[in-house]
C-alpha cells in the first residue's frame, strides 16, 4: 500500500466516474456542440449564480485566460506573494498577458482590503496601471487557509471604488465552501471571475472551469482558443466534472477531518516544530532542528508514505478522496513510531 499525500491531484478516477465519462454525449465543442461540456458549463454557472462558464483543461489556463481578459499589456496585478498565479504558473502573467505582479505580504496567503488599497498605483505616467486583484481561496502555500467572506467583501468594495476587476483562483474553492459552510453563490456575487479546479479534491483526471458574466466568458472563449485550449469532443472529460460536482463535494469534509486527525498526531512527534492551522485538506508542518524536511520525507517514503518537502524546513501533506480511513490510521501509527 502506498499512501500518496503529495497532492490532491494524484487521485485515480473511480468506476462511477469512468462510467459517466464513457457514456457521455459529445460533439465538437469548438462549434459549441458538445452537450456534456455545455451541461457542465451551465450547471457550474447556475451553481455560482453567475451568467456563464467555460471548461478549460487546467487551472493554470483558467487563471491565465482570466488575467488576459481583465488586463492590458503593461498593467499591474495585485496578489499575495505566495499566490499560485505568481509562483507556479511559469511567469505566465508576463508571458501571456504582458502584465506585472504587485506582490503583497499576506497572512497565510490572504491579503486585506487595506493592503490592496495601498498597493493601487496613482494615475501617474511613471506608474503601471493597476487593473486587477487576484485572490486565492483556499491558499495553497497558506496551508489550505480560508478567507473570511467579509474580508473579501471589503476587498470588492476597494475594487469597485477604483475600477479594478477581482478574480478568484478557486482551485480549492469547494474545500473552503465546505469548511466554512458557505454557498457557491456567495462567491459568485463577489467576484468578476472565478476559476475552480476539477482535478484536485474533486477527483477528476483533468479539468477546470472559469466562471463569469456573458461578456467576460465570450472574451475568455476567444483567448482559450488562442492559448490552444479549444478542445473538440471534450465531453468525455467534462463528464467527470459533472459527476464530481454531483458526487464528490460531500467527501471533502472527510478529507478535512482526516487532515486534522493526522495533524493532531504529528504535533506529538519530536521531528515536528509546528503546524500551520489546518483548516481544510492541507497540512504544512515545520520540521524541528536538527532534522531536515527532505530527511523526514525520505523516512516517510521508506514506509510508503509520500509527502513533499516544500522548503528545507517544511513538509506538505494533502488529503484527498483516494485516502481511506485505514490509510489515515497507518499514517498516524507510522509518524508516531518513525525512526529518524
Ligand atoms: C493546482 C492549482 C492551480 C492550477 O491548476 P492546474 O490544473 O494544475 O494547472 C491554480 N491555483 C492553485 C491555488 C492551485 O493549487
DSSP for 74-121, please give it. T-EEEEETT-HHHHSSTTHHHHHH--EEEEE--BTTB--HHHHHHHSP
Position 167 pLDDT exceeds 90: yes
Q: Could you tell me which CATH number the domain at 251-336 has?
A: 3.90.1150.10
Q: Above pLDDT 70, what percent of the chain?
A: 100
Best mutation site among 61, 171, 201 for ligand 1, i.e. most ligand atoms within 8 A of its Cβ? 171
Contacts of 97 (CB under 8 A, 6+ apart): 64, 67, 68, 71, 73, 75
Strands 305-306 and 3-4: parallel
* Confidence tier at 310 by pLDDT (50, 70, 90): very high
* C-alpha 63 to ligand 1 mean position (Å): 9
Best mutation site among 55, 83, 84, 176 for ligand 1, i.e. most ligand atoms within 8 A of its Cβ? 84
Q: What is the pTM of this model?
A: 0.97
Q: How many CB atoms lie within 10 A of CB 209?
A: 26
Residues with CB under 6 A from ligand 1: 58-60, 63, 84, 136, 140, 169, 171, 197, 199, 208
Level-2 CATH architecture, domain 15-247: 3-Layer(aba) Sandwich (3.40)
* Confidence tier at 213 by pLDDT (50, 70, 90): very high
Distance, in Å, from the CA atom of 107 to the CA atom of 103, rounded to the nearest integer, reads 13
Distance, in Å, from the CA atom of 263 to the CA atom of 108, rounded to the nearest integer, reads 17
Mean pLDDT of the chain: 98
* C-alpha 84 to ligand 1 mean position (Å): 7
Mean pLDDT across 255-284: 98
Position 304 pLDDT exceeds 90: yes
Q: How far is CA 236 from CA 34, 65, 231, 233, 241, in A?
A: 9, 23, 11, 7, 10
Angle between helices 235-247 and 35-48 (to 10 degrees): 40
* C-alpha 9 to ligand 1 mean position (Å): 9
Domain ranges, ordered by start, for the chain: 15-247, 251-336
**Whose CA is closest to atom 2 on ligand 1?**
171
Position 201 pLDDT exceeds 90: yes
* C-alpha 59 to ligand 1 mean position (Å): 5
Position 34 pLDDT exceeds 90: yes
* Confidence tier at 59 by pLDDT (50, 70, 90): very high
**Whose CA is closest to atom 5 on ligand 1?**
59
* Confidence tier at 145 by pLDDT (50, 70, 90): very high
DSSP state of 228: T
Q: What is the pLDDT of residue 340?
A: 87
Amino acid at each position: 500500500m502506498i499512501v500518496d499525500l503529495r497532492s490532491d491531484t494524484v487521485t485515480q478516477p473511480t468506476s462511477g466516474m469512468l462510467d459517466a465519462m464513457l457514456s457521455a454525449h459529445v460533439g465538437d465543442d469548438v462549434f459549441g456542440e458538445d452537450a456534456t461540456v455545455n451541461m457542465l458549463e451551465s450547471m457550474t454557472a447556475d451553481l455560482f449564480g453567475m451568467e456563464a462558464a467555460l471548461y478549460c483543461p487546467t487551472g493554470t489556463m483558467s487563471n491565465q485566460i482570466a488575467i488576459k481578459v481583465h488586463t492590458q499589456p503593461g498593467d499591474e496585478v495585485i496578489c499575495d506573494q505566495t499566490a499560485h498565479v505568481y509562483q507556479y504558473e511559469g511567469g505566465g502573467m508576463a508571458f501571456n498577458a504582458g502584465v506585472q505582479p504587485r506582490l503583497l505580504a499576506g497572512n497565510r496567503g490572504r491579503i486585506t482590503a487595506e493592503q490592496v488599497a495601498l498597493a493601487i498605483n496613482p494615475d501617474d505616467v511613471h506608474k503601471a496601471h493597476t487593473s486587477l486583484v487576484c485572490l486565492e481561496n483556499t491558499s495553497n502555500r497558506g496551508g489550505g487557509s480560508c478567507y473570511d467572506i467579509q474580508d473579501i467583501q471589503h476587498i470588492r468594495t476597494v475594487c469597485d471604488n477604483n475600477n479594478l476587476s477581482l478574480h478568484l483562483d478557486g482551485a480549492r474553492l469547494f474545500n473552503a465552501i465546505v469548511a466554512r459552510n458557505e454557498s457557491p453563490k456567495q462567491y459568485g456575487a463577489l467576484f468578476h471571475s472565478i476559476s475552480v479546479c476539477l482535478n484536485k479534491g474533486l477527483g477528476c483526471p483533468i479539468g477546470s472551469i472559469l466562471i463569469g458574466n456573458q461578456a467576460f466568458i465570450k472574451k475568455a472563449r476567444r483567448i482559450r482558443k488562442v492559448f490552444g485550449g479549444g478542445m473538440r469532443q471534450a465531453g468525455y472529460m467534462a463528464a467527470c466534472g459533472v459527476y464530481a460536482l454531483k458526487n464528490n463535494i460531500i467527501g471533502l469534509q472527510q478529507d478535512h477531518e482526516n487532515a486534522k486527525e493526522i495533524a493532531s498526531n504529528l504535533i506529538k512527534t519530536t521531528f515536528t516544530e509546528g503546524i500551520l492551522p489546518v483548516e481544510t485538506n492541507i497540512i504544512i508542518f515545520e520540521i524541528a532542528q536538527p532534522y531536515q524536511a527532505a530527511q523526514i520525507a525520505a523516512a516517510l517514503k521508506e514506509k510508503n508514505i509520500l509527502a513533499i518537502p516544500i522548503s528545507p524546513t517544511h513538509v506538505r501533506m494533502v488529503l484527498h478522496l483516494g485516502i481511506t480511513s485505514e490509510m489515515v490510521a497507518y499514517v498516524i501509527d507510522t509518524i508516531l513510531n518513525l525512526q529518524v
